[in-house]
Structure 1
Amino acid sequence: MDLQQMRYVVAVAETRNFTRAAERCFVVQSSLSHRIAGLERELGVKLFARSSRRVELTPAGVAFVAGARECLAAADRAAADAAAATGLVRGRLAVGVIVTTAAVDVPELLQRYRVRHPDVQVAFRSGRSDELAAAVRDGDLDIAFLGMPESERPSGVECVVLAHDEHVLVVPAGHRLAGVPRVTLREIAEETFVDFVSGTPARAQSDQAFAAAGLVRRVAYEAGVVELITRLIGRGLGIALLPSAFIRPRAADVPGLALVPVVDGPRRVEYLVWNRFNPSPATRAMLGLLGVGPPSPERTRHT
């Protein structure tokens, strides 16, 4: 058994197709199939159930792939650590980000990182804060940029506070509240709202603020991305509370919107989080680029 065989098995497991797996591994399909068949003979088990149309893992295959992924990750880490010992940063860096990140210009950050460390393969994905934090804890992501209500903190990860922010009310330009100097939650509680999907940290920020004020509101439209939320508002279908640091620079690009400060509105904290267990050289390089150094009063550890 060798690492290449493990890579072939993982590729087939992920693509569920021998041809696509061979393309991913830059090898002819006959060679990939031959190596996997040899591994199955060595193990004495079938890793895949094959038919003319489908390829699926057998129970033995499921067990093998889990261990194979761990072995491949350990091998990649060993190679990255060896390179780091000579001053080179290699390996892989998986980054997660919420769509309303405002404390850091993430695309610009990734560009600078690539210039400094061109041998690192960067993987990037967006998502909701709770899912990204869990991915960092599980080792699927190396770092993530989160936004959470003031009452909550990331758990099970290292974290540093990047910024504190307040929400603003976003209304259509012709709305009765457009242009007023400020509003309270009670003054807008009877309005129709557009918001993020229920159960997400982005939604919780507004839900918790209204609950704390003893108010109930109606959310008629739920969306997963800010662009859709602002388009719904622009059509006069509702109003929304959005992080001010994110929406203010973008409001000018969306015609027909007005922003109004909220006296007792939601507040959020933006965090940078990373796995507390032995960060990889690529992760340490990114933390260094962000200026994350010795513990400070803003840095916290949570279990």
Structure 2
Amino acid sequence: MELQQMRYVLAVAETMSFTRAAERCLVVQSALSHQVARLEQELGARLFERTTRRVRLTPAGEAFLPAARQCLAAAERAADEVAAAVGEVRGQLRIGVISSVAAVDVPRALRDFRGRYPKVRVSLRVSPSEELVERVKEGDVQVAFLGLPTTARPQGVEAHVIGRDRLVAVVSPDHPLAGGGPVDLRRLAEEEFVDLPAKTAGRAQSDLAFSAAGLTRDVAFEVTNTHFLARLVGQGLGVAMLPSAYVPQLSGVTTVQVTDAPARVEYVIWPPGSRTPAATAFLRLLGVPDVREES
């Protein structure tokens, strides 16, 4: 069993296509298919079901993927550790962020990081907080930035608090609340809302606050991205509640203070145990300690 064979299997599993997997791996399809077939023969099980119209994983393939990812990650980590031992930080840094991250200017941090460690290749994923926690647990993401209600804390990962903030209401510039004084949740409950999808961490902050106040509200639009959410608000389709430190990044909306607004905590998280050299260098640049610091 060779590492390259594992890379081919992962590429097919991620693209669900031998053709696209070969393009990704920069090999001809016949060579990739041959190596996958050799691996299946060695394992004594088919990893993929192939037809002329589709490719899908078999139960054996599903079972193979986690271990294959771990083996490839271990091989990459070994090479990165050797390089770090002689003073060179390289490899891959996989970062996850929520769309409303505000406690850290991630693009600026990456600019500084790139200037110091030009041999590190960075991939950036934008996802909800709860998905990022799972990705970090699985090792797909090495560092992630997320926001949670004050009643929650990331579980199963190492975490460091990077910011605390309160939510504000955002409305269109011509909304009756624009330009007025602060409001409370009871007044906001009279409005239609634009918000993140139900059961996400970003939505929970507002849902919990209204529920605790004995209020219900009408969420007319659910949006997965906060920038697009703000565009809907700007068109007068509803009001929204967003972290006050994040709102200055938006245009076309007006901020309204909320007297009994909920709060959120922003965290940077990483997998339990030791960090990769690239992740350690990035977190050190952010001022995150090498050991977990409880909030």
Whether these two folds match at TM > 0.5 is: yes
- Paired with 1:135 and 1:34, the residues of 2 have a C-alpha distance of 31
Match of 2:281 in 1: 285
Match of 1:168 in 2: 168
- Relative distance call for 1:202 and 1:79 in structure 2 (3 A) is same
Alignment of 1:93-132 (within 5 A): 93-132=93-132
Instruction: Report which of the two structures shows the higher radius of gyration computed on alpha carbons.
Output: 1
Q: Please report how far the alpha carbon of residue 295 of structure 1 lies from its aligned counterpart in structure 2 after TM superposition.
A: 5.7
Q: TM-score, normalised by structure 2?
A: 0.91
Match of 2:137 in 1: 137
Match of 1:88 in 2: 88
Instruction: Give the stretch that moved more between structures: 188-197 or 24-33.
Output: 24-33
Describe the superposition over 1:120-158 as per-residue Cα deviations: whole angstroms up to 9, x where unpaired. 221211111111112112222111111111121112222
1:56 aligns to what SS in structure 2?
strand
1:167 aligns to what SS in structure 2?
strand
The reply to whether residue 25 of structure 1 matches residue 28 of structure 2 is no
Describe the superposition over 1:192-244 as per-residue Cα deviations: whole angstroms up to 9, x where unpaired. 22221111111111111112222222222222222332222222222221111
- Paired with 1:169 and 1:212, the residues of 2 have a C-alpha distance of 18
Match of 1:212 in 2: 212
Q: TM-score, normalised by structure 1?
A: 0.89
Match of 2:14 in 1: 14
Q: Please report how far the alpha carbon of residue 178 of structure 1 lies from its aligned counterpart in structure 2 after TM superposition.
A: 1.9
The reply to whether residue 236 of structure 1 matches residue 236 of structure 2 is yes
Gaps of 5+ in 1: none
Q: Please report how far the alpha carbon of residue 272 of structure 1 lies from its aligned counterpart in structure 2 after TM superposition.
A: 0.9
Determine what percentage of the aligned residue pairs are the same residue: 54
- Paired with 1:267 and 1:145, the residues of 2 have a C-alpha distance of 17
AA aligned opposite 1:300: E
- Relative distance call for 1:86 and 1:233 in structure 2 (3 A) is same
- Relative distance call for 1:291 and 1:175 in structure 2 (3 A) is same
Match of 1:262 in 2: 258
Match of 1:275 in 2: 271
Match of 2:294 in 1: 300
- Paired with 2:119 and 2:56, the residues of 1 have a C-alpha distance of 34
Q: Please report how far the alpha carbon of residue 294 of structure 1 lies from its aligned counterpart in structure 2 after TM superposition.
A: 5.5
- Paired with 2:258 and 2:227, the residues of 1 have a C-alpha distance of 21
Alignment of 1:171-210 (within 5 A): 171-210=171-210
Q: Please report how far the alpha carbon of residue 279 of structure 1 lies from its aligned counterpart in structure 2 after TM superposition.
A: 1.0
Instruction: Give the stretch that moved more between structures: 169-178 or 237-246.
Output: 169-178
Alignment of 1:12-91 (within 5 A): 12-91=12-91
Matched residue count: 295
